[in-house]
Amino acid sequence: MTKKILIINGPNLNLLGDREESKYGKTSLEDLKKNCESHAKSIDFSIEFFQSNIEGEIVTAIQKAKGVFNAIIINAAGYTHTSVAILDALLAVKLLTIEVHITNIYNREDFRKKSLISKAAKGIICGFGINGYIMALDSVKKILENENK
């Protein structure tokens, strides 16, 4: 049975490919989505890709994921460091969650070194560029396979 994964992207990630190329690269969010869809299909996953600049919309997407998706991959972007609401939503739905960041948040400004949402994450992948999303999909696959043994 195909597993369903929700990939959530937070504020300003809609500007990928245009913003701070030295940090985030040249790949657009649409191209990232296509890469994730292609890889997901190759590992028998179905994904839904969601992006919002609005914290409440992200919280609502997380809440609606319960009972629909097998896992969440989330790059909460700037909300990583500020959003108790996103943390609470992730904790409430009790879904396998992998936190992803394109940059190494521990190699940046001090305020970025603290993730409020990590408490809800099984693991964190950061600093590998957009490949972190593929790594997260592979990690979810391995975790779900191990749970079914």
Residues designated as active site = 24, 101
CA distances from 88 to 92, 93, 94, 138, 142 (A): 6, 9, 10, 25, 26
Q: Which residue has the tokens 């396979």?
A: 145
Q: Which residue has the tokens 């879904």?
A: 95
Q: Does residue 98 sit in helix, strand or coil?
A: strand
DSSP H or E stretch at residue 7: strand 3-9
Q: Which residue has the tokens 């779900």?
A: 144
